[in-house]
Structures are given as structure tokens and as C-alpha cells.
Amino acid sequence: MDDSDFSAGEVDWQPASGAQVGVTGEQGPAYVEHDVDRSKLEASGQHWQRYHYDRCSFVDADLSNILTTQCTFLRCDFTHADLSQSMHQRSEFLDCVFRSAQLTGARFEECRLAGSELDGAAMSGIMLRGGDLAAVSLEDADLSGVDLTEVVLYGANLAGADLQDAKLVGADLRDVRLERTSFARADLTGAQIYGFDAHQADLTGTIVDREQAVELARAFGVVIS
């Protein structure tokens, strides 16, 4: 995405733990790179803590089983990179590209991926609990059964996404783009659904609370007396 697509300040997100996310000014980065080509990098199993990368390329890199802690990645390219079974704790990936990346079994705990593109990424078994995914692109993504509890998806592109059996308890689904999107049997209890176009989604067996049920009923023209 180009610089005009998303501003990280548009959503005031803070992790539930209150901990700092990404490299902060207080501690400063332990390692910094700008505009560096790290394509095909072999870094499987490494631990990166407070690393700061800006506009770097990790195309085709092997980052499987890597652990990142409080790292910052700005406008980095992870196209075709292998991040399977990786773990990320309070790291941020802002306006990054993960096209066709391998994210199978990856865990993102209290991370920011705002404005990033994950189109075509393999995400079986991924965990994105309690993170900021505002304005991300997840078009045609297979997120069936994925735990997205309390994740911010404000303004995200979910066109064609499969969220069957997903857990979206307390998630922010305001103004998401829906088109052929499946929430069949997903749990949306407590999720924010303002601007949620229910006509563009499969809600077969979807679990909602009473307040959501009223709002969804009105979307379909049901008059509630």
C-alpha cells in the first residue's frame, strides 16, 4: 500500500496489557536498517528484540520459527517469505506486504499489522489475538477457525474471506469491506459491527448477542416493536 492508504494514527489502539508495542523512544532500537535488501535471508529460529526495519525487503526469506519481541517493521516486503511457526510479541508491521507469504502456525500476540497486505498468504493455524489489523487487506483469505478475539479489523478488506468457525469475540468490525465473506458458525459476540453490510456476508449459524441480533435484523428490514 502506498503512503496515502493508511495512517497509523487513525485507530487509537492499545494492547490490553498496556505494554509498549514496537520500538519505543524510551528504550530505542537495538538494531536499525533502512532500505536494505534482505531477500532470501536465512534467519530461522533467531530471536530479534527491538529491531527496527524501514522499507526493507525480506522477499523469499526464511523466517520460520523466528521470535520477534517489540520490533518495528515499516513498509517492509515479506512476499513469499516463510514465517511459519514464528512468534511475534508486541511487534508492529505497519504498511507491510505479505503477499503469498507462509504464515502457517504463526502467532501474533498484541501486535500491530495496520495497513498491511496479506492477500494470498497461507494462514492455517495462525493466531492474531488482541492485535491491531486496521485497514489490512485479507481478500480471499482462509481464516476459518482462527482466533481473532478482540482484534481491531476496522476498515479491513474482507472480500471473499473465509471466517467460518472463527472466534471474533469483542473484535472491531466497523466499516469492514464485505463481499462473498463467510462468517458461518463464527462467534461475533460483543463485536462492533457498525457499518457492517450483512447483505454481503454468509451469516449461517453465526453466534451474536442480543444487541447485535437487533441491529442485524434491522439491516434486513425487520421491524422490531
Question: Cell numbers 505479505 label which residue?
Answer: 98
Please determine, for residue 97, whether its predicted confidence score (pLDDT) is greater than 90.
Answer: yes
Residues constituting the chain? 225
Architecture per CATH, 128-225? 3 Solenoid (2.160)
Q: Is the pLDDT of residue 4 over 70?
A: no
Q: What are phi and psi of 213, to 5 degrees?
A: -60, -40
- What is the average per-residue pLDDT within 166-186? 95
pLDDT of residue 2: 42
pLDDT surpasses 60 at 7: no
Backbone phi, then psi, for 4, in 5-degree steps? -85, -10
Per the prediction, the chain carries an average pLDDT of 91
Q: For residues 93 and 76, is the Cβ–Cβ distance under 8 A?
A: yes
The DSSP element (H or E) to which 218 belongs, if any, is: helix 210-219
- How far apart CA 175 and CA 34 sit, in angstroms, is 34
Distance CA 195, CA 44 (A): 41
Question: For residue 10, is pLDDT > 90?
Answer: no
**What is the rounded distance in angstroms from the CA atom of residue 156 to the CA atom of residue 110?**
18
Mean pLDDT, rounded, for 104-129: 94
What is the value of pTM for the model shown? 0.87
Give the separation between CA 168 and CA 180, rounded to whole angstroms.
18
Percentage of the chain lying above the pLDDT 90 cut: 76
**Bridge partners, 53 (sequence order):** 33, 73
Mean pLDDT value across residues 96-105: 96
